[in-house]
Amino acid sequence: MPHVITSPCIGTKDQACTEVCPVECIYDAGEMLLIHPDECIDCGACVPACPVAAIFPEEDVPASEQEYIEKNRAHFGL
């Protein structure tokens, strides 16, 4: 999975990241936004656009946020 949205997005759901995503792979998942791992092209445009610093490349997700890797995958049935 190229990028993962983590807990700072919960309740915020600022759409700035969706506006810059060239492939529209960021979806509203209720309490937060999530990135579809099969659609993301790993461009990284969403990372600086996120006002709450909630988006990371999978390999850089902080240890305290690791559960969001699986949450992103599970939401899309992967």
What total of structural domains would you count in the chain? 1
pLDDT over 90 percentage in the chain = 90
pTM: 0.92
Give residue 13's Cα distance to chain centre. 10
Per-residue pLDDT tens over the stretch 17-52 = 999 999 999 999 999 999 999 999 999 999 999 999
CATH label of the domain that carries residue 36: 3.30.70.20
Write out the residue range of the structural domain in which residue 69 sits. 3-75
Give residue 14's Cα distance to chain centre. 12
What's the CA angle centered on 36, arms 3 and 31, to 5 degrees?
90
Torsion over CA of 60, 53, 46 and 3, rounded to 10 degrees? 30
- Look at the block and give the residue holding tokens 């949450």: 71
